[in-house]
Amino acid sequence: AQKIDIFLSKIVSIAASSDADVVFCGANYDSFLTWPLFFRQYITPYLKKYSAISHQKDKFFLTHADGENEGLIKEYVESQIDIADSICPYPMTKLKLEDIRREFNEKITIWGGIPSICALEKFMNEYEFDRYLYSLADSIGKGDHIILSFADTTPPDAKFERISKLAKFTKSLKLS
């Protein structure tokens, strides 16, 4: 990490000096591969540094956090990132969306939050999908600090009707 830090610092600085609103750095964490102690020692300090570089230029800082995040949520907060992209909650991972939001405490915006299996009939029947939508409404609270989307990517065999239903459902929510 120290060897490539000089290079990455320059890249983040160049990106932060651009017209972009968001600087994206780091991806694909998973508590099985980047376990919390490893993350704390080898990733958190660098994300925090790159986040500070971005914030000095009035940019948001985003990292792609699409794996199992058990034990990593506090590290994201410590890193002072602004956006956790592709957060994938239960039932695909161990953490529930409402618990992640509570830990982020309005410091980090979630981009994602909807497990991609929700779009697949082989994992959720219509009744389970509808139940998931209503639990989602409870999970997002006021609706601040969240950009709802399928975490990571929409599966190629996703049922289009579910994507449409999800879009209509989220538009119908009365969020502040």
Assess whether pLDDT exceeds 60 at residue 176: no
pLDDT band at 72 (very low <50, low <70, confident <90, very high): very high
- Report CA torsion sign: 35, 40, 42, 46: positive
Contacts of residue 19, defined as CB under 8 A and 6 or more positions apart, other chains included, come to none
What pLDDT shows up at residue 3?
85
Element at 97 (helix H, strand E): helix 97-104
Q: What is the pTM of this model?
A: 0.93
pLDDT tens sequence across 15-66: 999 999 999 999 999 999 999 999 999 999 999 999 999 999 999 999 999 9
Segment 137-155 shows an average pLDDT of 89
